Amino acid sequence: MTGSQIIWALIKIAVMIGFVVNFAAILTWFDRRGGAMMQDRMGPNRAVVKIFGREFRLAGLLHPAADGLKFFTKEDFMPPRADKLLFNLSPILSMFPVMALVAVIPFGDTLCLRDIYRTASDGGGVWPVVPRYGTCGIGMTASGPVFPIDLMVAPLNVGILYVFAIAGQGIVGAAIAGWSSDNKYSLMGALRAASQMVSYEVALGLSIIGAIMIYGTIRLDDMVRWQGEHTWGIFVQPLAFFLFFAAAVAETKRIPFDLPEAESELVSGYYTEYSGMKFGMFYFSEYAEVVTSSMLLVTLFLGGWELPFFHRDGLTVAFGDTVLLHQVIPHLWMEIISVLGFFGKVIALCWLQAMIRWTLPRFRYDQLQKLGWRVLLPLSLANVLVTGVVVLAIDHGGPNLWNGLDVAAEVTQAVVAVAMTYVLVRLVVGFFKKRPHHPWIVGSGAKMAAKTGGTPVTPMQA
């Protein structure tokens, strides 16, 4: 590797790890703020900090900072009969696979440095437009060769296989933590976590077999390029998307699949005996799993870095042979748009998973196992069978069928573009619009009290 390749590799690692770490921290804040707002209770959305008699809320951002300080300063407790080596090792084993998983996830299209340097050397500036099709080559400059930069840390040919190999190791930390703690509740949580992983890992893997059959590759970046030239994976594999999403939520061990750490049954499950920063590593890895699972969902089913009608050479709105709009966009701007599009989709999916946590109730353990083995697994197998039949039927179809599918794919791109525009407009309008707060009386007792004049209410204390 040349010096420039090493520098680019470090930059890509910093981007991916930095996003996972920082957004996982933001998710801890959003879980508290969003949960408090949905349940209408005291939380970061109402709690204040008084400084010299003035009240500051700061959107509740001081809460994550206080949590981090608490993790570092709390006593590092260890049970007297615990296995010291495994007890200390398990938080690391839970954190490492989550961070290693992002190595093969692409967050942008290939950066063609050769064209940029060539244009600059010709006196044409650094804003070239690259062709829509083809690959970047190696260019020569006065300082040496210039290589294309894949916007992924490790462009492995076994992409999705690496993902499942690393993701399957995450359960090792939980299992070792429960066994080494010398606590029956921790051991029970570890057993639940292991059996839950076995139940949902199978459905997780089978759910994307149909997508691999359609994409014709196991490289994640090539999957994204297929979606950019045709349609997003959620339209060709809708059932697989929902199966993968449900299994991914179960893999993160969050509500409604948080049986390994159900506080009403197992105190805190497999990390009951942990405190201080060791507990913080388990706690933080759970939120990091939410981010990485959202990255995988975006890559496999939501177009990755691709946006509707945006291609490497710019914006092209076309239906069949009819081109309605073609606007060339410099390569550097297209790279920025693609990277922002990828991370924007990831943030939206993380928000959706947070909403699910505060919306659905917890399953019973037998219900969780039945859902995995009797619902998700049969459906994933049926999806593989139906996908195979459909692929064979399309392969034997004529050119008219292929042309019709191309037009249908472009229609789905238009639908996605309209939906994304609508959501963005609603978000902007809702952000600046102030809504009055109306108390909501729930229950017959509250209604009777309201009819008699209400009950005295004192300010809530944090």
Which residue type is seen at 309? F
- The closest alpha carbon to 383, from 240, 244, 245, belongs to 240
CA 231, CA 254: separation in Å to the nearest integer? Answer: 31
CA 405, CA 394: separation in Å to the nearest integer? Answer: 10
Residue with token string 């690496």: 162
Domain total in the chain: 1
Secondary structure (DSSP) of 100-130: HGGGG---S--B-HHHHHHHHHTTS-S----
Residue 146: strand pairing partners: 139
On whether residue 371 sits in a domain, the answer given is yes
- The closest alpha carbon to 329, from 309, 315, 308, 341, belongs to 315
On whether residue 119 sits in a domain, the answer given is no
**Residue 75 burial by Cβ neighbours in a 10 Å radius (0-12, 13-18, 19+):** exposed
CA 157, CA 381: separation in Å to the nearest integer? Answer: 25
CA distances from 400 to 100, 405, 409, 411 (A): 45, 9, 14, 17
Secondary structure (DSSP) of 17-33: HHHHHHHHHHHHHHHHH
Residue numbers of the domain that contains 264 = 65-111+149-390
Helix ranges (H only) for 183-319 are 184-207, 209-215, 220-229, 233-236, 238-251, 263-266, 276-301
**Residue 400 burial by Cβ neighbours in a 10 Å radius (0-12, 13-18, 19+):** exposed
On whether residue 349 sits in a domain, the answer given is yes
CA 227, CA 402: separation in Å to the nearest integer? Answer: 16
On whether residue 416 sits in a domain, the answer given is no
Residue with token string 């993790």: 71
- The closest alpha carbon to 291, from 336, 325, 252, belongs to 252
Looking from the CA of 338 toward its CB, the CA atoms found within 13 Å total: 31
On whether residue 414 sits in a domain, the answer given is no
**Residue 41 burial by Cβ neighbours in a 10 Å radius (0-12, 13-18, 19+):** exposed
Tokens of 194: 């292991």
Using DSSP's 3-state secondary structure scheme, residue 139 falls into strand
User: What string of pLDDT tens digits covers the 462 residues of the chain?
Assistant: 677 778 888 888 888 988 988 888 888 888 877 777 777 666 665 666 777 777 777 767 777 777 778 777 877 778 888 788 888 888 888 888 888 888 889 988 888 876 665 555 554 455 677 777 767 766 655 555 667 788 888 888 888 888 888 877 777 888 888 888 888 888 888 888 888 877 888 888 888 998 898 988 888 888 998 888 888 989 999 999 999 998 888 888 777 877 777 766 676 777 788 878 888 888 888 888 889 989 999 999 998 888 888 888 888 888 877 788 888 888 888 888 999 999 999 999 998 888 888 787 777 777 888 888 888 889 999 999 999 888 888 888 777 788 888 888 888 888 888 888 888 888 888 777 776 666 555 555 666 666 666 666 666 554
On whether residue 124 sits in a domain, the answer given is no
What is the pTM (predicted TM-score) of this model?
0.83
On whether residue 82 sits in a domain, the answer given is yes
On whether residue 76 sits in a domain, the answer given is yes
